[in-house]
Structure 1
Amino acid sequence: MKLSDKILRKRAIIAKVNDPLKNISQIEQTNRRNAGNFLINRLARIAHLYLPT
């Protein structure tokens, strides 16, 4: 399997996970330049869903 095919498969999996999260939390995509910031941002949004306000 070519590398581009593998990357496209992973992208589809990530999209399947991210779409429900975006719909549940009604978030807008921001410009993320750092992978670490992306992960912290994602974890904060998930935590926000489960913590009482």
Structure 2
Amino acid sequence: MPENYTDPSGNTEAFRAFTETPNVAGPTETPSRIPLIVGVVVVVLVVAVVAWLALS
């Protein structure tokens, strides 16, 4: 290890600063389902148009 490495658990102030730093990535959020719903609707419409054209 380098000589200038400071272990955050070695001193209370450094440890508190280490544990209280905000999460840069933020909380993990579930992805939106809107693109999935729009995709399903588009696929159903395309299948309906193809079936209508095939039967007419």
TM-score range relative to shorter protein: 0.3 to 0.5
Q: Relative contact order (C-alpha < 8 Å, sep 6+): which is higher? A: 1
TM-score (structure 2 length as normaliser):
0.37
The TM-score normalised by the length of structure 1 is 0.38
